[in-house]
């Protein structure tokens, strides 16, 4: 006898999904991020697969949207002292290894 998986009765140990931000909350955080990027001499680099809203924010603030190699090149050449990386961990590690003196988040 085989056991069938029934998704309607299965109990998943996952936390609940977060509540999406309202339009006003999104606008508030966009402006706050823009302000902090300027104040902290930072630039945002975003990978192609990030959310379109993240990509738009990177473009609006003089950042870069690209693949991981170009993100690293852009970050190395940009005069900002801090990089805000919208990607995955190994991308940040690659930039960390190739750029001395720059903070990354």
What CATH number does the domain containing 81 carry? 3.40.50.10800
Task: Evaluate whether residue 83 is within a structural domain.
Answer: yes
How far from the centroid of its chain's Cα atoms is residue 21's Cα? 16
Task: Evaluate whether residue 14 is within a structural domain.
Answer: no
Furthest-apart CA atoms within the chain: distance in Å: 66
Domain count, the chain: 1
Task: Evaluate whether residue 6 is within a structural domain.
Answer: no
C-alpha radius of gyration, the chain, whole number: 19
Task: Evaluate whether residue 88 is within a structural domain.
Answer: yes
What pLDDT sits at residue 93?
A: 54
Task: Evaluate whether residue 76 is within a structural domain.
Answer: yes
Task: Evaluate whether residue 87 is within a structural domain.
Answer: yes
What digits encode the pLDDT tens for the residues 32-82? 999 999 999 999 999 999 999 999 999 999 999 999 889 888 988 999 999
Task: Evaluate whether residue 2 is within a structural domain.
Answer: no
Q: Does position 4 have pLDDT exceeding 80, yes or no?
A: no
Q: 72 or 21, which is more confident? A: 21
**97: confidence class by pLDDT, cuts 50, 70, 90:** very low
Show the domain range for 76: 41-104
């Amino acid at each position: 006898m085989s056991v069938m998986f029934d998704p309607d009765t299965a109990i998943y140990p996952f936390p609940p999904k977060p509540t999406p931000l309202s339009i006003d909350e999104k606008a508030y955080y966009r402006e706050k991020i823009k302000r902090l990027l300027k104040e902290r001499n930072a630039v945002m680099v975003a990978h192609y697969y990030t959310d379109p809203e993240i990509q738009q924010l990177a473009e609006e603030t003089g950042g870069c949207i690209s693949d991981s190699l170009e993100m690293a090149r852009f970050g190395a050449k940009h005069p900002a002292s801090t990089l805000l990386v919208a990607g995955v961990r190994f991308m940040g590690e690659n930039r960390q290894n190739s750029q001395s003196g720059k903070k990354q988040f």
